[in-house]
Amino acid sequence: MSTPVRVAGLHKSYGGVPAVTGVDLEIHEGEVFALLGPNGAGKTTTVEILEGFRRRDGGEVTVLGQDPQTAGLDWRQRLGIVLQTSQGLDLLTVREVVASTAKVYRHPRDVDEVLEAVGLEEKRDRRTATLSGGQRRRLDVALGIIGRPELLFLDEPTTGFDPQARRDFWGLIAGLAGGGTTIVLTTHYLDEAEQLADRVGIIAGGRMLTIDTPAQLGGRHAQQATVSWREGGVVRTLATAEPTAEVARLADRFGGEVPELVVVRPTLEDTYLSLIAPFAAAETLASATAPDAEPVAEEVAR
């Protein structure tokens, strides 16, 4: 299996302030890789270095076999980039924008097929200014995939979507991944990463804290579940590695129904928040929602 993205010891500072300090990363062919992290964590810097928009201070970076810093237009032929901002070109129709972008690629997909794939076939002759936020983002994806990229970067693709639009969008991305495109996704939405990503990397304080599948991230699968119920007028909670046995014991004790029984496993969001808790940006939020933050973070730090 080849490795479209290979990063070793990546360093980048802005005016002496380190933004990325020693990131290592390998992204495999055909996988969807999600990069998560709080604002200012080094996520955008890392991705923009991969995209060839920023220069690095140190480390090795290979994207599709080339150094993005020196790679030319032939390299861009094999790349699709959906940027974070999605504005401009208001005066052109959807089809005009996609068709003109198609012209700069050597082996573009068929314009109408792409518009159909992203669900914009009915909007093809409308000005892009008339599109909703979700439709506009699908146009961005159309522009990202029109050149038949081997590697697609998606930077926060669903920010500002309503839930239905997000579901639709996930279907679109899953379809692309199914077609063999390697996808690098940055997002703030944990459910999005869980839905789409084969592997997740969490970056904070300029370092890659962990890389794993969504299910295994931060030892999530092995973590204790929380069982809670009402007894004597108060809600009682218990952390346990054996929630099933605990529930059985409670059922015995209550002789049937346990009042207000809830069993919770840590969500990806809990795990994420506990991982990034030591990094100031999300400290307040994390400590409010993830009481077991510190031990997990220490484990990762080792």
Partner 1 sequence: MSLAAIAVDRTVLELKMYFRERDSVFFSFLFPVVMLSLFAAVFGDSLDAGGSPISAAQFFLPGMVAGGVMLTSFQTLAMSVAMERDDGTLKRLRSTPMPPVAYFLGKVGLVAASSMAQMALLLLVARFVFDVTMPSSTSAWATFAWVFLLGVSAGTVLGIAYSTLAGSAKSASAVVIGPLLVLQFISGVYFAYGDIPPWMQQVAALFPLKWVAQGMRSVFYPAGMQTQEVAGSWEHPMVALVLALWLAAGLVLCARTFTWFKRGSV
Footprint of partner 1 (CB under 8 A) = 48, 51, 53-54, 73-74, 76-77, 79, 81, 83, 85-89, 91-92, 96, 100-101, 103-106, 143, 147
State which residue, 42 or 147, has the beta carbon closest to partner 1.
147
Give min distance, CB of 174 to partner 1, in A.
Answer: 23
Between 28 and 109, CB nearer to partner 1:
109
Select 93 or 216, whichever has its Cβ closest to partner 1: 93
Q: How far is the CB of 215 from partner 1 (least distance, A)?
A: 33
DSSP conformation letters of the chain: ---SEEEEEEEEEETTEEEEEEEEEEE-TT-EEEEE--TTSSHHHHHHHHTTSS--SEEEEEETTB-TTT--HHHHTTEEEE-S-----TTSBHHHHHHHHHTTSSSPPPHHHHHHHTT-GGGTTSBGGGS-HHHHHHHHHHHHHTT--SEEEEESTTTT--HHHHHHHHHHHHHHHHTT-EEEEE-S-HHHHHHH-SEEEEEETTEEEEEE-TTTGGGGGGSPEEEEEEETTEEEEEEES-HHHHHHHHHHHHTSPPTT-EEEPPPHHHHHHHHHTTSGGGHHHHHHH-TTHHHHHHHHH-
Least gap, CB of 126 to partner 1 (angstroms): 13
Closest separation in Å from C-beta 245 to partner 1: 55
Cβ-based nearer residue to partner 1, 5 or 79 = 79
Taking the least distance from each CB to partner 1, the nearer of 17 and 73 is 73
For partner 1, the closer of residues 92 and 225 by Cβ is 92
CB of 167 to partner 1, least distance (A): 26
Q: Output the smallest distance, CB 81 to partner 1, in A.
A: 4
